[in-house]
Structure 1
Amino acid sequence: MRKEIIDYLDQRPDLKFIVREHPDWYKKLSRNPAAIQELENEAKFFYGQTFGQKIDRLHGQIETISRLVQLFGKH
């Protein structure tokens, strides 16, 4: 793997973790260093940082708060 990719992964422990968990990324990045953008997109999905995942979490939180309000509103 190229030195600049290794340095970049050293600066981004979240990406480095994914590369260690999924060794096929070593091969991908060695053959195509431009795949780092694809790795970053994969990391967003892995860590739940995509827009859809954030909306789902927000929806779940609102639903929980709504249930609590209903529960305590009856007493």
Structure 2
Amino acid sequence: MPAHQLRYYEAQGLLEPARAANGCREYGEESVVTVIQIRRLLEAGSRQRRSPSCSPAYRGLRRTLSRVWSS
């Protein structure tokens, strides 16, 4: 995944990577799971625009992602 996408997710408050002593971002397993869920949510949203039958999947992913973000 391009670094600029990770920085965008961070700027939006979706990711909070740890920082190494030298200031470099460190993405742990939780960050990887969050990024995967973000990508799935975005993919489901684009399918939803093309096919209304995907809306239940889109809503389910959205609920799941909001639970992860709130924990």
Structure-1-length-normalised TM-score: 0.35
- Tell which has more relative contact order, 1 or 2 (C-alpha 8 A, sep 6+): 1
Structure-2-length-normalised TM-score: 0.37
Larger % of strand: which? 2
Looking at CA atoms only, which structure, 1 or 2, has the larger radius of gyration? 1
